[in-house]
Structure 1
């Protein structure tokens, strides 16, 4: 499986509409890959809390439409990162926020095949917890070519290993993790991605944000980690595309060679 991880950089000066056009063009350049992955909230701004209400859209809004067309034009499965979702039907969650941090996944024909609403909201009572409802569903998608299944999670989710155990038990052989992880804690980002790969014997495809917006410097260091914990590719701190060949058969081989998962007791 050939994967392109698009570590998008942006700042406050770039209008959202222009960024959507720029990123859609970048996705189209990835023809020949099987899977393309974008960061969390790259269009509305990962830390641009004050703008989220104005920039919220339904899954079939302008951002989603642009990403669907880009996936179709490139002929790739596209994990389009996440948007600030406001459903058209006025749906609200248990806390009545009516907004979610929602990831969108498109097939190579541009059809929407999965959405994932972020379960763990970052902010310690501010930011996401104050403005957004929490997702509730574990979501897996089939990888291109039938080479396995990927569990979906987002950024802060990475700190909660029980989520990944649930995905593992549901059949995951890979985890796809878009993020807007700041530079101040980027060591946690790289370490936890390796931990999730090693403890669950799954490939981790982790796409972070670069640049600085809303006064927050982003950490970059997007990465692809094998099921045995090897870093197959690691980005720097600026905008960058990682193009990586991932052998998904190696997941089964490693699990057979080092059958740690068979020794689980709790």
Structure 2
């Protein structure tokens, strides 16, 4: 499986429409990939809290429509990163969208762990409640977002739900870039799964972004890693490697639950 992580530079001075056009162009350039991944909240900016309310949209809003068309035009599975979703109840959620190569919406994941403690995302958005996996591109994808990375129990539940490849879009601050790399590798090792961690570049509302997207194999080998700027990170994944490594080193057979 060929995967491409689109580490976009998000400039919050640009309009969301211009970013949708840029993202769509990048996706279409990946014709020949099997799976393409965008970062967290790229239409708005992960730290542009003051814009969340105004830029919130439904699942079939302008971003969903644009990414559906891009997936269909490129003929790829597209994890469209995440949007600020306004639900039917009027709540805001940090919501990831997965599109099939025909443009159909295949899965939706609402971020469970909201960052910010007593401000920002943590107070503006409602937490998701569902673990989400989806068969795609010959593997089973497990969906998580950014701050979820710090909570290994989410990934254990994804493992138990059959995940073989975990997709993690993020808007991770450069100030904690070391945590990002360490935790992404740890989640791959402990769950014996591929981890596709796609971050943003640039600056969101004064917060410098880490970038440094990475693709990690089930044994913890870093197959590809980006720098801090805008970049397309591509790698070929041997999907048989997950089952082979789990059989070779069957650590999960020794799990004990208390």
TM-score, normalised with respect to structure 2:
0.98
Question: 1:101 is matched with which residue: 83, 87, 94?
Answer: 94
Matches within 5 A, 1:12-31: 12-31=12-31
Matches within 5 A, 1:94-243: 98-144=91-137, 146=138, 148-243=139-234
CA distance in 2, matches of 1:252, 1:16: 41
SS at 2:158 equivalent: helix
Moved over 4 A (4+): none
**Aligned: 1:254 with 2:245:** yes
1:45 corresponds to: 45
Q: Any gaps of 5 or more consecutive residues in structure 2? A: none
CA distance in 1, matches of 2:141, 2:11: 30
CA distance in 1, matches of 2:224, 2:121: 30
SS at 1:31 equivalent: coil
2:62 corresponds to: 62
- Residue by residue over 1:139-182, the C-alpha shift from the partner in whole angstroms, topping out at 9 and shown as x without a partner, is 001121x3x21110000000000010011011111110000000
SS at 2:97 equivalent: strand
The total of aligned residue pairs comes to 257
Q: Any gaps of 5 or more consecutive residues in structure 1? A: 93-97
SS at 1:24 equivalent: helix
- Residue by residue over 1:99-138, the C-alpha shift from the partner in whole angstroms, topping out at 9 and shown as x without a partner, is 0000000000000010000000000111112100000000
CA RMSD of aligned residues (A): 0.8
Point out the structure with the larger strand share.
2
TM-score, normalised with respect to structure 1:
0.95
